[in-house]
Structure 1
Amino acid sequence: MTGIFVAYNQAYYDEIILLLEKHGTRGYTSWTEISGRGSDKGEPHLGTHTWPTFNDALITFVEDDKVDDIMDSLHKLDCVSEELGLRAFAWKIDKTV
């Protein structure tokens, strides 16, 4: 099992949920209106007058054989509008309850 954490501009929410569903992933936990700034490009998402947008984030856990396809799809989505910002991280899960 692998965990995938995705931080993204709020504008991506619907697309990311559809992307996960397309790959047979139902379960996730999400956080809304979080602030942050990318490490390479893009504008900060701080919810302020100067930087009014926010990010959202979610985490999902999937079978290992789905990880590459999901990460590839997330990368393609990011490439469409890099300035919006999307980062995804995957790591192995040793145990769950």
Structure 2
Amino acid sequence: MPEMRFTVRWPDGQDESCYSPSLVIREHMEVGAAYPLADFLDRSRTALGIASERVRAKYGFPCSRALGQLARIESAAAAYAGDPAATVSIVAFED
């Protein structure tokens, strides 16, 4: 199963490398795009959920790394929840 990393830029300008066990991220996010925080969270939940389910279909159990990555994204996003103008940018995809 092809895995990938994707780099996001948080509203404070910090970049973070994120993991996905599947290339499905490419179907839900675009390099160079800036997503409002809530939209980014929805896209992350959807894409990483699908990625984890693909692992379940192949190996019989969900991907703990994908679910852990989602938890990390949700935790980091909480710091910006009070800012209605907060956006998260997609900096790069790395296969």
Band of TM-score, shorter chain: 0.3 to 0.5
* Structure with greater helix share of residues: 2
Which structure has more strand as a fraction of its residues?
1
Larger Rg: 1
TM-score (norm 2): 0.37
